Amino acid sequence: MCGIVAYYGPDDAYDFLIKGLHRLEYRGYDSAGIALLNGELRVYKNKGKVSELEEIASKGNTEGTRGIGHTRWATHGEPNTINAHPHLSPDGDLALIHNGIIENHDTLKKALIERGNTFKSDTDTEVLIHLIDAIQQAEGVDLFEAVRLALNEVVGAYAIVILSKRDPNTLIAARKGSPLVVGISDKEGEYFLASDATPIVEYTRKVTYLEDGEIVSIHDGQMTIKTIENVSKTPFIVNLEISLEALEKGGYEHFMLKEIFEQPKAIHDSMRGRFNSETLHFAMASLNEFQDKIRNLDRIVIVGCGTSWHAGLVGEYLIEEFARLPVEVEYASEFRYRNPIITEDDMVIAISQSGETADTLAALELAKSKGATIYGVCNVVGSSIPRMTHAGAYTHAGPEIGVASTKAFTTQVAVLTLIALGIAGIRGKMKRDKLRQMFAELDTIPQKVEQLLKNCADQVEQIAAEYKDSKNFLYLGRGYNFPVALEGALKLKEISYIHAEGYPAAEMKHGPIALIDEEMPVVVIATKRNYYEKVLSNIQEVKARKGKIIAVVTEGDEKVKEIADHVIEIPDTEDSLTPLLATIPLQLLSYHIAVMRGCNVDQPRNLAKSVTVE
């Protein structure tokens, strides 16, 4: 939430800042702003999107070889122009952008007001820049030291970048809890900073990810990193592997649609090289290296938020079925505050597309402090979760830009399937024949997803046209298809703003059935191998009350066709692999409904892709 970018170098900063903000807009789009330093410190900011900021700024002077930019997801203060970043010191000499929350801002603000400061905005960020300024004035120190001293007084999370008119050859940035990447150009004295690497990759592939509690100072073209305790650090430079094409829409109308259609490749990439279906060799080093630990595990706890939590539910079913090890799935936000019972014999698996979700990070920190083995299933390479876990597996889905998760979900499920099979193998719970059958079937999944996308795309669009004006939707599924129902409902809510609920099919009669009438579309996942007869009865119950049935069935199904209003066929697969296929038409359904309702599919209202505040 909130995206930040900054430039320091020989060229004008403006183009990099604007392009970078567009790339980071998935992190928040309530307001946007930039500050440019060129003798003068000029600020342009505006409520609304980056394109609106661009319109305003491009009419003014955009020169300046130092610059900072921000796209906001509002936490403190309503999303208006005054609360938009950058925020300034009282004399307007210092400008600050911030991603995170300063928790003790009230106390700090009171002290500053007593000192005579007055504030323009309602933000915690303005308090921080006033504090930095007050310290610099009172102590007569340089900007780095003023920032360092201020951060020692701050409680909360931040990624910040500061520019100073008093010291135009210096740019200071710091992080704690919110991500920050520094790109180092081949051009001497040129640096790019951003919340993630996507704005940077076009300019340089050499980056360093700041660690929590580190402050970077770029002064006279030289970069140094110190901790907030003033200890020098050597930057660890890595090479980015993101391709530029992956960050563009590539001819699709929306990123979400592109990402839905990328799933055959994404799922393939998530499994590539991790097993061999002929030799039955299992090659996930992150598990193989922890064999002793895994053999002695008491249980696994999976934590995540949103879509990742849904993938976690599929993971629970998979691990319990194959490895016969108890699994609990928790919302990270609940887990972290309820003093959970965690021991050294537990493994805590965090699932997160971004690898930055604040609640998931905090849940992992807690589990780590209690001695558990912590394992990450993340998509964004180099993000915070993979850097703090003992082991983990990337999902290799490639950049996901649409705010609603699609390929991130299916690749998480694919990786969790491998984890379940791997753990089962290590714990001696996997028969070779079954493993052979699973590997062989997994090999076919990318191609089945491809075929499914081809076969169902037009039909789902037609169904969407029929139900786009519905006020409510119900999604039902049993077993492995229950998390699919939850995910289908979440997708619809997120991007079309239609109220939708996912339920275990059998639970319908304990409440939701009261809602069913001829106005209520019910999406039922009724595939052949997943409690088929029982789901069929649930469909009858809906039809008896005149509900409309949109059923996802296995190819060739005859029975559901007779009673459902619409059937969408998916290829047959193992019971446990059904979520990898059944999710696809539900993603398309929500996508088309949202488009037909004129919603902003890639940037739905009030949401942000990466939630780095709790």
Where does this chain touch ligand G6P (CB under 6 A) — which range of 8-16, 134-142, 235-243, 347-355? 347-355
Instruction: Tell me the closest approach of the beta carbon of residue 490 to ligand G6P, in angstroms.
Output: 8
For the record, the structure tokens of 481 come out as 């298809």
Question: In the range 355-374, which residues lie near ligand G6P by CB under 6 A?
Answer: 357, 360
R_g of the chain, CA atoms, integer Å: 25
Q: How far apart are CA 134 and CA 118, in angstroms?
A: 12
Q: Per the residue annotation, which of 2, 305, 378, 456 is the catalytic one?
A: 2
Nearer to ligand G6P, 436 or 499 (CB): 499
Instruction: Tell me the closest approach of the beta carbon of residue 302 to ligand G6P, in angstroms.
Output: 12
Q: Is 347 among the residues that bind ligand G6P (CB under 6 A)?
A: no
- With tokens 């191609």, the residue in question is 447
Q: SS3 for 248?
A: coil
Q: Is 171 among the residues that bind ligand G6P (CB under 6 A)?
A: no
Yes or no: say if 16 and 5 are a contact pair by the CB < 8 Å rule.
yes
Site string for ligand G6P, 549-588 (x = CB under 6 A): ----------------------------------------
Nearer to ligand G6P, 16 or 73 (CB): 73
Instruction: Tell me the closest approach of the beta carbon of residue 431 to ligand G6P, in angstroms.
Output: 33
Query: To 5 degrees, how large is the angle CA 390–CA 393–CA 396?
Result: 145
Nearer to ligand G6P, 146 or 361 (CB): 361
Question: In the range 186-245, which residues lie near ligand G6P by CB under 6 A?
Answer: none
Nearer to ligand G6P, 357 or 410 (CB): 357
Instruction: Tell me the closest approach of the beta carbon of residue 411 to ligand G6P, in angstroms.
Output: 11
Counting residues that bind ligand G6P (by CB under 6 A) gives: 16
Do β-strands 87-88 and 94-102 pair in parallel, antiparallel, or remain unpaired? Answer: antiparallel
Nearer to ligand G6P, 3 or 306 (CB): 306
Q: Strand pairing partners for 391?
A: 375
Q: How far apart are CA 211 and CA 180, in angstroms?
A: 8
Do β-strands 346-352 and 373-378 pair in parallel, antiparallel, or remain unpaired? Answer: parallel
Q: SS3 for 269?
A: helix
Instruction: Tell me the closest approach of the beta carbon of residue 491 to ligand G6P, in angstroms.
Output: 9
Q: In what order do the strands lie in the sheet with 472-477?
A: 499-504, 472-477, 521-526, 548-554, 566-570
Q: How far apart are CA 239 and CA 196, in angstroms?
A: 14
Please indicate whether residue 609 is annotated as part of the active site. yes
Closest CA to 435 of 302, 323, 289, 320: 323
Q: Is 352 among the residues that bind ligand G6P (CB under 6 A)?
A: yes
Q: How far apart are CA 436 and CA 276, in angstroms?
A: 9
Site string for ligand G6P, 389-428 (x = CB under 6 A): --------------xxx-----------------------
Where does this chain touch ligand G6P (CB under 6 A) — which range of 128-136, 237-245, 353-361, 569-577? 353-361
Backbone angles phi, psi at 191, to 5 degrees: -135, 145
Q: How far apart are CA 597 and CA 468, in angstroms?
A: 7
**36 CA to centre of own chain:** 30
Of the residues 125, 308, 527, 576, which one makes contact with ligand G6P according to CB under 6 A: 308
Q: Per the residue annotation, which of 258, 407, 448, 609 is the catalytic one?
A: 609
Instruction: Tell me the closest approach of the beta carbon of residue 364 to ligand G6P, in angstroms.
Output: 11
Nearer to ligand G6P, 355 or 585 (CB): 355
Q: Is 99 among the residues that bind ligand G6P (CB under 6 A)?
A: no
Question: In the range 287-306, which residues lie near ligand G6P by CB under 6 A?
Answer: 305-306
Is residue 478 classed exposed, middle or buried when 0-12, 13-18 and 19+ CB atoms within 10 A define those classes? buried
Instruction: Tell me the closest approach of the beta carbon of residue 254 to ligand G6P, in angstroms.
Output: 15
Please indicate whether residue 378 is annotated as part of the active site. no
Instruction: Tell me the closest approach of the beta carbon of residue 610 to ligand G6P, in angstroms.
Output: 6
Yes or no: say if 51 and 87 are a contact pair by the CB < 8 Å rule.
no
Yes or no: say if 246 and 265 are a contact pair by the CB < 8 Å rule.
no
Q: Is 46 among the residues that bind ligand G6P (CB under 6 A)?
A: no
Of the residues 13, 567, 607, 613, which one makes contact with ligand G6P according to CB under 6 A: 607
**5 CA to centre of own chain:** 18
Q: How far apart are CA 446 and CA 43, in angstroms?
A: 48
Residues contacting 507, CB < 8 A, separation 6+: none
Q: How far apart are CA 337 and CA 352, in angstroms?
A: 19
Instruction: Tell me the closest approach of the beta carbon of residue 614 to ligand G6P, in angstroms.
Output: 12
Yes or no: say if 521 and 551 are a contact pair by the CB < 8 Å rule.
no
Contacts with ligand G6P by CB under 6 A lie at 305-308, 352-354, 357, 360, 403-405, 607, 609-611
Query: Which residues are tagged catalytic?
Result: 2, 609
